[in-house]
Structure 1
């Protein structure tokens, strides 16, 4: 029964892929439409800066802001296994 379902799924995937390939026409990409006004292309450095460095920089800035502005209570933070238990033992020892 599993073989039949796998064959059915494979046929469906192959059929869908074939239909997508037949429906798309890359040759039409060369024909300009009315009102089409493409700009100048990006250089390699501009492309890398826009699609690689900018997202990484944005991620670093957001992460830094979260770390700097974190005002949660230190006892509620989980930094590793058994960390909270050790902190509780140390507090109990300090109070006694």
Structure 2
């Protein structure tokens, strides 16, 4: 049984090390110099992108869940 625990620990450690290595190397792969970031977002665009769209997405998903739940017939007591 100890052999299984050590094997799983080795797998977990290897996966953690490889994941950490990839995360450390990835920013360098995407870093470029001289890029023009373009114009910034206005306050309205920022609020729409980071507040309104997630709230609408949540409302749509919640509405679909409620509709699918109410579509089932409820047992009568």
Shorter-chain TM range is: 0.5 to 0.7
Note the 1:1-96 alignment, pairs <5 A.
1=1, 3-24=2-23, 25=25, 26-31=27-32, 43=46, 46-51=49-54, 53-66=55-68, 67=70, 70=71, 72=73, 77-78=74-75, 87=77
CA distance, structure 2, for counterparts of residue 8 and residue 38 of structure 1:
50
Q: Which has the larger radius of gyration?
A: 1
Please list every run of 5 or more consecutive structure 1 residues that lacks an aligned counterpart in the other structure: 79-83, 88-96
1:11 Cα offset (Å)? 1.1
1:21 Cα offset (Å)? 2.7
Please list every run of 5 or more consecutive structure 2 residues that lacks an aligned counterpart in the other structure: none
CA distance, structure 1, for counterparts of residue 47 and residue 57 of structure 2:
16
Structure with higher RCO (Cα < 8 A, 6+ apart): 1
Give the TM-score normalised by the residue count of structure 2.
0.52
1:39 Cα offset (Å)? 8.2
Give the TM-score normalised by the residue count of structure 1.
0.46
Distance 1:16 1:60, change over 3 A: closer
Distance 1:7 1:48, change over 3 A: farther
Q: How many residues align?
A: 68
